[in-house]
Amino acid sequence: MTQGQMRTLWRCRCASVCRTRFIWRAPPEYVLDKLHLIKVFVAVADANGLARAARLLGLSPAAVTRAINELEAHLGMRLLTRTTRVVRVTDAGARYVADCREILANLAEAEASAAGRHSMQAGHLTVSASPLLGSRFVVPIITEYLQKHPDVSATCWFLDRAVNMTEEGVEVEVRVCDSHEIAPQAQQVGRIQRVICAAPEYLALHGRPRTPADLRSHAIVSAASVTPAAEWRLVQNGVARNIKLRQRLVTTDSDGAIVAALGGVGLACLLSCQVAEEVSAGKLEIVLSEFAAAALPVCVLHRAAPHATARTLAFVALAVERLRANPALN
């Protein structure tokens, strides 16, 4: 603490205790400085770099560096590992930045409430979704929501994992859930499953597989983002089995596998929501549906009260309505 931020002491006479007590109260400017340091640290952690955080905050790189150094000195621990090429949050820093995000979120909500805006659709909305659902299903809903509420901005995270909504500052999450893990704040909006499909031209030329064993004689297109490249999981006689296959084509994403299947390269295993339009149009046909694994629920999750703001609940209501009405998810 600098000379100008020395502790302020005052005496207060306690009616029940006949002695003088000394209590420390931080000067207002010290509290504001500490809040500034926290905001800078969170910005650096989110931006994965000092220079980028400086640009986002409108500060000089030197000012950002000084803020991080001062915060680390105050806490007595290293928050960031810095090299000439990369900036990473330390284990201690990861725990601290989660707490800082929560502090900033609570402060923003308190300010909005004091200003009478808590019941309005205003502020910033952070939404997370799996990559398989994000661009195709969630972004159109966010676009519609932002058009209806011009005072709201949004951030979309497309992640192959569930998020800790409180620690990571996420307000709404859309993802595929296991049936046993649906949380109280989750609303089921649909169900999807893995399906095996091919172009009608391919099936006319090579025949339709009747059993999982028949797959071994067919050309296989694998999408690594949906299934492991070397095997597909099917259920036969009530028992789940992993069928090992020889691939003719392996792609890292499902879009490439869809294009290949439409072109007649072979059979592809994809999520039902990804090929719903092609199947409905007759461009792809589903085979071996009786051997498919159980469908999984698609859920919309949000933070529990009192952290569920008006903008959060308004977006959840719109997302639930639009997703439940989408035939690709049902």
pLDDT tens digits for range 74-126: 999 999 998 877 788 998 998 898 888 878 877 776 766 666 554 456 788 99
Q: For residue range 16-37, what is the model confidence (pLDDT) as tens digits?
A: 333 434 443 445 444 458 888 9
Q: For residue range 33-51, what is the model confidence (pLDDT) as tens digits?
A: 888 899 999 889 888 888 8
Q: What is the pLDDT of residue 177?
A: 82
- For 194-291, CATH number out of 3.30.420.40, 3.40.50.960, 3.40.50.720, 3.40.190.290 equals 3.40.190.290
Domain boundaries, the chain: 3-102, 119-192+296-329, 194-291
The fold adopted by the segment(s) 119-192+296-329 is D-Maltodextrin-Binding Protein; domain 2 (3.40.190)
How far is residue 171's CA from residue 127's CA, in Å, rounded to a whole number? 6
Q: What is the pLDDT of residue 311?
A: 87
Quick one: pLDDT band at residue 224, thresholds 50, 70, 90?
Answer: confident
**Based on C-alpha coordinates, what's the Rg of the chain?**
27
Q: What is the pLDDT of residue 116?
A: 55
- Asked if the domains 3-102 and 194-291 are classified in one and the same CATH topology, the answer is no
Q: What percent of the chain stands above pLDDT 70?
A: 83
Task: Assess whether pLDDT exceeds 60 at residue 148.
Answer: yes
Q: Give residue 76's region: left, alpha or beta (phi > 0; psi -120 to 50).
A: left
CATH class of segment(s) 3-102: mainly alpha
Task: Assess whether pLDDT exceeds 60 at residue 165.
Answer: yes
Q: What percent of the chain stands above pLDDT 90?
A: 45
